[in-house]
Amino acid sequence: MCGIVGAIAERNVSAILLEGLKRLEYRGYDSAGMAVYSPQQQLQRVRRLGKVAELEAALKAQPLPGTLGIAHTRWATHGAPSEANAHPHFSNQEIAVVHNGIIENHQSLRGTLQAEGYTFTSQTDTETIVHLLHHLQKSQPDLLEALRIAVGQLHGAYGLALISSKEPERILAARSGSPLVVGLGIGENFLASDPLALRQVTDRFIYLEEGDIAVIERQRVQIWDAHNNPVERPVVLYNEPAESSEKGSYRHFMLKEIDEQPQAVQRTLADRLAADHVLPEAFGAEASALFKQVKNIQIVACGTSYHAGMVARYWIESLTNTPCQVEVASEFRYRHVAVQPGTLFVSISQSGETADTLAALRHSKDNNYLGSLAICNVGTSSLVRESDLVLLTRAGPEIGVASTKAFTTQLVGLLLLTLALGRAQNSLDTEQESSIIAALRNLPKILNDTLALSTSIEQLAQCFAEKHHALFLGRGEQYPVALEGALKLKEISYIHAEAYPAGELKHGPLALVDSEMPVIAVAPNNDLLEKLKSNLQEVSARGGQLFVFADSSVPFIEDTQTRVIKVPSIHPTLAPILYTVVLQLLSYHVAVLKGTDVDQPRNLAKSVTVE
């Protein structure tokens, strides 16, 4: 949610900042801006409404040379997307700030600062920070000390970076609830909200921790913790190849990431399977002992990750007989939860920085949970650092805002969890266990075969491009797959889509069915297939148009109202993974036909680090 880049060097930094913003654009993209300390010893800035490309064009016309600078790409929270609300924000042409997060007490701060004579030029919460710093410097001229006082007065979440024309040899940064990372160069140093932004200039990073304040100079980086003690944070080598976050020959990141799923799943499985069981160490050294004590599971997540949790609930309850609840984090964090003894708290997140999911994890620590497990794609994230056990999904960087490979690898991780848990508790049927393990090993190949359906799904997509609504149906663990299919279509094609458990159709949504309402069903070969077929008859009988993704071994009859797309046969337990992929392809091709911004759909952001 919003992206921050900062740089201090001997060379001109504006190209570095711009490249960083381009790499961060997936986090927010309604406006962008840059401030640089110019050779004329002044802060200069350029801001533009719209994408980073708009800023780039403006910088061509009005270059910002300088060796110290900060930049930002925004996802609006306070104040509409506009040039005036774009960061960096200035106070008296002297201090510039970029900020991710939300300052909750901005209104009272604004009132106080206005009474002190400050004029606000934006509707943002961020502008209060920069005027507050300027005001504090009247009694505390050292910017670092002023920042220390200021953070004590800020309520809410922030990752922020600032520069001052009075102290042009450093960038100051503070983190509380919104990630920041320092990039280390030789004779130059950098700052960003995500290491991806700086991969073109370094592979050495220091992750700031909650409450840290950092001073970044050309030759050194100093960090103080939340208690103002100087600290050394470890330097982490980022070994993800830079090209994994580049589009290559693909038109969109989303298609690239859909296509990467066989390899991503392979990586998620690598070194985690013995011949016939899952290695519990995959979840951490203490996992084995902890899993034996689990009597109940509480899963918490947001968005697509929440759908992964919903699938997992079917797996965990049916295969291990362990009760399991799933809840969206924004609800869970604010309600009183009756915690059953022996409950394992499981969070699922691609980024590991989603504010609600993190808050839910922190909230769980005040309750009597057995422990916490994070299923996450980012090893350095807050969620991972704050959880007792971790399973990394190893999907690689996911740039498209609509999650694809992160979801399928989460499902694989959750199936590994189900199997490890079932074995630890002796509740798993061993034959079932080895058949699922064998099917998991074969999954990358079947995923590859499934991706070959892309061309026929592209043709099918034409039936949707003019539609305004769509209904997705599934039963059992395919119901969350239907939910995820509907979410994908909404997110990137802006078609209103809903998902229902097929058996629920007759209790309301059937009233919506007519020839204008495409109905998409996922029909693997499982125990509920015949029930699903009856539900689909209810659609046909009302003149509805059916699009059925069905197991190729099942004779599904096509007619004028029913299109059938044959999907490779798969072990029924793994079917949610495969049927998700065909629905991803459907949404992708519909969105391309509609000409939407596939990778950066309107109003959304990849990583939601605000409430």
Enumerate binding residues for ligand G6P (CB under 6 A): 302-305, 349-351, 354, 357, 401-403, 604, 606-608
Scan for tokens 């839910």, then name that residue: 360
Q: CB of residue 357 vs ligand G6P: minimum separation in angstroms? A: 5
> Of 45 and 394, which CB lies nearer to ligand G6P in the complex structure?
394
- Catalytic residue from among 51, 405, 467, 606: 606
Q: CB of residue 123 vs ligand G6P: minimum separation in angstroms? A: 24
Identify any residues that bridge with 190 across adjacent strands, giving them in sequence order. 7, 183
Q: CB of residue 245 vs ligand G6P: minimum separation in angstroms? A: 16
| Residue 606 appears among annotated catalytic residues | yes
Q: CB of residue 599 vs ligand G6P: minimum separation in angstroms? A: 11
Q: Considering all CA atoms of the chain, what is the largest pairwise distance in Å, rounded to the nearest integer? A: 80
Q: In a 3-state reduction of DSSP, which class is residue 183?
A: strand
> Of 131 and 606, which CB lies nearer to ligand G6P in the complex structure?
606
> Of 3 and 88, which CB lies nearer to ligand G6P in the complex structure?
3
- Catalytic residue from among 2, 302, 324, 376: 2
> Of 298 and 349, which CB lies nearer to ligand G6P in the complex structure?
349
| Residue 2 appears among annotated catalytic residues | yes
Scan for tokens 């099917």, then name that residue: 439
Q: CB of residue 608 vs ligand G6P: minimum separation in angstroms? A: 5
449 alpha-carbon distance from chain centroid: 27
Q: In the complex, which residue's CB is closest to ligand G6P?
A: 303
**Which residues lie below 8 Å from residue 314, measured CB to CB, with a gap of 6+?**
476, 477, 480
Cα 158 to Cα 175: distance, rounded to the nearest angstrom: 6
Q: CB of residue 330 vs ligand G6P: minimum separation in angstroms? A: 11
Short-list 154, 244, 149, 153, CA closest to 195:
244
Contact 135, 113 (CB under 8 A): yes
> Of 349 and 526, which CB lies nearer to ligand G6P in the complex structure?
349
> Of 35 and 608, which CB lies nearer to ligand G6P in the complex structure?
608
Angle (CA) 296 301 306, round 5°: 95
Write out the two tokens for 567.
Answer: 């999907």
Write out the two tokens for 55.
Answer: 């800023």
Short-list 375, 10, 7, CA closest to 197:
7
Cα 180 to Cα 354: distance, rounded to the nearest angstrom: 14
What is the number of other CB atoms lying within 10 angstroms of the CB of residue 603? 10
Cα 491 to Cα 307: distance, rounded to the nearest angstrom: 15
Which amino acids are annotated catalytic? 2, 606
